[in-house]
Every structure is written in structure tokens, then in C-alpha cells.
Chain A
């Protein structure tokens, strides 16, 4: 047959199977994770919180331990009373502040002890040469006699009962605490301490857990049995108790002590997980191949087995970090945390407790920070589990 009898059709390439670049395990996982909106949001939030804690304090005007005696217990929003074109804020403990129209604090008015009329509840403050009179006797009246305000402010005969406007506190966006420290800076600093504790404790736990678990799992037999009995015993002690005991034993707080206490117990669950992975992985052919080629035991464990168990390990890390943040804040809350003037979110929450009814904002911000961090890490963890769990893979 001659070639003329054939007509070549143009190649369109349509029939060719579309060749996709083959993805590695991690590229595939990343592709999945990226589709998970909540997880991506979690990652963004975590990055923001890390930035907030690391470089944030450089942008505030105060350091975490600066105490400004004039400005104690100031809320993040200021109610301003207008008198004679000027604006005043009256704090819950009856200090009067002169405030600019945009919410920047200018000064605290001087209260002459002689003009502090405790019986009639009328204080007279000095603003330069002028007198500002604060009359807060209304709360003394039975049922306040129908008045719907708590105090009046008087300057040059002009009286103001109702706030003219509410402005954000420009100088202290999160307010100040009972010692006059800027809460924004302190929450930033708290982020630094809380995350530092969480990350270091998690890394140490990871290291101990992975080494312990992989040795137990790979060796098997008697070694495994003994090592796992030890884990069982540690696991049957309520861990929080043990951490508290350790903290008592260390005689008080301190950053290093907390980290040591946290990292000495929480590796147990990691060890169990890694052991389980090792038990199934070590039966696979590639391990046999490596062994046949005479690869040393430690190299098999660290080069071949652990990288293959990385998926579940990473998921468990993502869950470990928030629980470390949680435990740390719990410890700080019962007074076993970092020592003053250092602060973690737990200490900040603990400090806010005494003045809660009057200054609730002092608890609000650290609590919000803890909740945000927990939420973000939980979302990341959930997303990672979906992305790395081979059981959920389709096709």
C-alpha cells in the first residue's frame, strides 16, 4: 500500500490526556489546605498575632513596664463632657481629665486635698486658675430621686450632666491597668510571652515525643513494652496537677520554669502517636530495602520513617500549641505564671479579675487575644487534618 492512500489528519492534541504536573505529598496537602477558607484565615490570624507580639511593641509609645501614675484605670473609650468648649473625662474613681476633642488625653486635673469634700461628695479640681466642680452626691439619694445621671460637672457656672460624645482613647487604645500601664503594649508583650512558651514547649515536646515514640515503635518487643508502660503511668497522672506540682517544686514562676514544666509532660501523647505510626511504617518494603542496603538504624528512623509519619505529627503540633497557650494562661491565672512586671495573657486576665466590675475592659482584651489564638490554631489544625489525612483522599 502506498502512502498516498492515507490522509494524515492534523493532530489536534485534544485526545491527549491532559498532563498535570505531578504533585508531591506536601504540594498536594498545601493545595487542599489553600482551599480551606477557615484554615487560611487561621494562618493569617496567627501571622498577625505573631507580628503583633514581635514588632508591635516597637510602635507603641510605652514599654510594658512603664507606669504612668496620672493615668490609672483609663478605659479604651472616653465619655467626654463639654464645658466652655473644652472636653473633660471623669473616670470611675472620680478623677477628672482634660481631653482634646479627638480623644487625646492632655492632663489629669489637680485635686486639692482641702477641696475634697467627702461628706457632701463634691470635689473641686484645679484647671489652671479655674475651678472644676464635680458633684457626685446623686448616688447617695434614695433611688437617686429620679435623677438619671450620676454626677454633674461644673465650670464657670456652666453645668454638664450628660456626656457630649464618646471618643476612642487615642493615647491608650486598650486603656490602662491599675498601675497606669498601657494595656495595648502589655497585651502585645503578653502575646510574645504566651506564644514563646507555647512554641518552645511544643518544640521540646515534639522532639522528646518523636524520639521516644520512634525508638519504642521501631525496636518493638521488650523495649517497646517497657517504654510504653512508663508512658501509661505518666498518662494516668492528671497532667495539670503534675505541672502545678512541678511549679511548686520550682518555687514559683519564671519563664524557664513554665517552659520546663510544660515540656516535661505533654510529650506523652506525641510519643504514642509516633509509636503507632512507626509500628505500621516499619513493616513496609522501603524500610526492608534500606535495611538490606545496610543503612544504620538511626538513619532509617530519622531519614525514612519520621518523614513518612510527618502528616499526623504536624496535625498534632497544630493542636498542641493552643493547648500549651491554654495551660500557660491557666497556670498564670492561679498565680504560678511569669513573675511581674512580665506578663502573659493569663497574668493579664488574672490581674483584671480584682477590678472586674468597674474595669471590665482589662479582662476583655487578654481574653479576646487568647480566644482568637485558640480559634486560629484550631482552624489550622482542622484544616491540616483534612489536608493530610489520607483516608479522606478521593481518587
Chain B
């Protein structure tokens, strides 16, 4: 067991180094530095700026410095927001993103999985058709459209929820629904199809034939196995939702990480782009790792490699 974790952690570290190197090379190979403006900046100022941000060092040294900073979780200063570091941006943005993300993820798991199970148990009933209809809409309509429609109808026409910012519980409704919409539909569909497949298996018939209560058959024998593909999807999904809600944050004007990222993309603020990318990637890798560990708990058939 331990050697499996060790192996996973080592490969995670290698991946992080690779991603960082890749982003670093990409951001530094863009022609024109971060201070290139429409109007040429006087040479002296340019030199001073470059010296201030250590951009006059040779690239390998800059790279080493950046990596050194990374080890101490220092992502460097932001180029376009003078006086703030990328760490500040992440610290200020993460709580808002995480709050919406957590609520959305909780909603997806708490609603999506039961809906999928129920709809599989009542296959081809009106309820099933209704749930699948909603889920299909959720998958086909892009989140930015859902978000704008929510703003238009519930914030604009009806005035039930505020159209921007995050104060009061009402303001969470819009972003959470828009953020959860796609994944909620996906999880519902996934749970349903995987549940249908499990219910066809012989061991379910055996369990029923043994006179086990229907509730126990479903909950203990069917759902547990049906959840395996769902967990595979939910892990990375949570990482993506907690961090990657750029569009939703932009539309609802939420001061989260995603908005900083989109802004840094349009401002060509390379350190911020780099920092947030690395942050995202690490987060994502950790979630995948957790999923792998979760497998062992859900599915006793899976023995992690190296387990004796």
C-alpha cells in the first residue's frame, strides 16, 4: 500500500515539474516582454523594470529562481497589478471560488447520484423520461448560456436574485446552478446507465433470490458497484469546479480565481497566468490522487499495486 502511494506521489511531483517547465517555457518564449506596450516605453524605464523583476537574468537562472520560489509556495509578483503578488491574488480569489465550487459539488453529488439511481430503478417511467430530458438539456446547453439566462430571467425580469457579486445566500443561487448544471446532468446520466448495467448482473438476482430486502439489495449491492465510474468522473470534476469556473465568475462578477485568470489572460500578465496554471494543475493532480485512494474503499476488488 505504502509503495503505491509513494509511486503516485513521485509521479505527481514529476508531472508538476513538467507542467511548470512547460508553462514557463511557453510564457517566456512569447515575443515581446510583459512590459511591451502600444507606446514604446523609454529604454531606461524598461531596463529598470526588467531589473526589478529580475528579467535581465539569463533564462535558465530565471527558471531556477522560479522553481526555487515554487518550493516555498512563492509564485512571484504580478506584472500588471503593481504591488500584488500572485500569491495574494490566489489567496484573495480562492475563498470565493471554493465556496461556490464546494456548494456546486455538494449539490451535484447529493442530487445527481440519487436522481440517477431513482431514474434507473424506474426505467421508462414518466419520471425517468423527465429526469433524462432535464439531464440532456443540461449537457447540451453551454454553462455560459445557462448563466446568462439565469441573470436575464431571475435577476433582471423577476429580481429574485442579485445579478453580480457574492453577498447573502441569494447571490449563490445563480452561480451555483450555472456551475453545477453540466456536471449534474452528466453525473445523473452516468449513474443511471451504470446502475442499469449493474442491475442486470446475476449477483443482483442472486441477492434477491436469497430474500435480502430490496432496499439492502439496491443500497448495498447495486449502488456501491454502480458508483465506481461516477467516482472516476467526480474527482477531477470537483477540482475543475473548485478552480475552473472562469466563465461563471466573469458573468456573475464574482471576485474569484477564475476571474483573475481570465483577466490575466487578457492583460498578458504572464506570472499570474503561470502561477494560476500551476496552482490549478497541482489541485487537479491531488484530486486525481484522492480518487485513486477512494477506489480502494469503494471497490474491494481493486487492490492497489504493491499491496500485499
| Chain A hits for B148, CB < 8 A | 349, 353, 356, 363
Q: CA–CA, A240 to B29, complex, Å?
A: 20
State the majority secondary structure of interface residues on A: helix
> B131-166: contact bitstring with A at CB < 8 Å (1 yes, 0 no)?
000001101111011001101100010000000000
Count A-B pairs with CB separation below 8 Å: 99
**B64 interface residue (CB < 8 Å to A):** no
**B280 interface residue (CB < 8 Å to A):** yes
Known contacts A236-B284, A333-B247, A334-B250; 15 further A-B pairs (Cβ under 8 A): A236-B281, A238-B236, A238-B284, A245-B26, A245-B277, A326-B142, A333-B142, A334-B265, A356-B151, A360-B152, A367-B145, A371-B140, A371-B145, A378-B136, A378-B140
Please determine whether B265 and A244 come into contact, CB atoms closer than 8 angstroms: yes
Q: CA–CA, A127 to B1, complex, Å?
A: 85
**B273 interface residue (CB < 8 Å to A):** yes
Q: 7 interchain pairs (CB within 8 A)?
A: A240-B244, A245-B26, A249-B29, A334-B262, A335-B262, A335-B265, A363-B145
**B221 interface residue (CB < 8 Å to A):** no
> B220-249: contact bitstring with A at CB < 8 Å (1 yes, 0 no)?
000000000000000010011000101100
Closest to A379 in B: B136
CB distance from B269 to the nearest CB of A (A): 10
Q: What is the interface of chain A, defined by CB distance below 8 A to chain B?
A: 232-233, 236-238, 240-241, 244-246, 248-249, 251, 326, 329-330, 333-336, 349, 353, 356-357, 360, 363, 367, 370-371, 374-375, 378
| Chain A hits for B273, CB < 8 A | 245, 248
Interface-located stretch among B15-23, B52-60, B84-92, B118-126? B15-23
| Chain B hits for A249, CB < 8 A | 26-27, 29-30
Q: CA–CA, A329 to B285, complex, Å?
A: 26
Q: Which of B15, B142, B149, B280 has the most CB of A within 10 A?
A: B142
Q: CA–CA, A333 to B258, complex, Å?
A: 14
| Chain A hits for B236, CB < 8 A | 238
Q: CA–CA, A163 to B268, complex, Å?
A: 50
| Chain B hits for A353, CB < 8 A | 148, 251
The 8 closest A-B pairs by CB, nearest first: A374-B140, A367-B145, A375-B140, A249-B26, A371-B140, A371-B141, A357-B156, A238-B284
**In the complex with contacts A249-B26, A334-B246, A357-B156, A238-B239 CB distance below 8 A:** yes
> B243-274: contact bitstring with A at CB < 8 Å (1 yes, 0 no)?
01011001100000000001001101000010
Q: CA–CA, A356 to B148, complex, Å?
A: 8
Give which listed residue, A236, A245, A333, A334, contacts B15 with CB less than 8 A: A236
> B273-304: contact bitstring with A at CB < 8 Å (1 yes, 0 no)?
10001001100110010000000000000000
Q: CA–CA, A360 to B236, complex, Å?
A: 34
Q: CA–CA, A241 to B258, complex, Å?
A: 11
Q: CA–CA, A326 to B182, complex, Å?
A: 12
Give which listed residue, A232, A236, A330, A360, contacts B144 with CB less than 8 A: A330
| Chain B hits for A246, CB < 8 A | 26
CB distance from A261 to the nearest CB of B (A): 12
Q: CA–CA, A378 to B138, complex, Å?
A: 12
Please determine whether B281 and A237 come into contact, CB atoms closer than 8 angstroms: yes
| Chain B hits for A251, CB < 8 A | 30-31
Please determine whether B15 and A367 come into contact, CB atoms closer than 8 angstroms: no
| Chain B hits for A334, CB < 8 A | 246-247, 250, 262, 265
CB distance from A36 to the nearest CB of B (A): 15
Q: CA–CA, A359 to B30, complex, Å?
A: 39
Q: CA–CA, A56 to B284, complex, Å?
A: 43
| Chain A hits for B284, CB < 8 A | 236-238
CB distance from A175 to the nearest CB of B (A): 16
| Chain B hits for A240, CB < 8 A | 240, 244
Closest to A248 in B: B265
Q: Which of A232, A237, A353, A371 has the most CB of B within 10 A?
A: A237
Q: CA–CA, A184 to B236, complex, Å?
A: 39
Q: CA–CA, A333 to B144, complex, Å?
A: 8
Please determine whether A241 and B265 come into contact, CB atoms closer than 8 angstroms: no
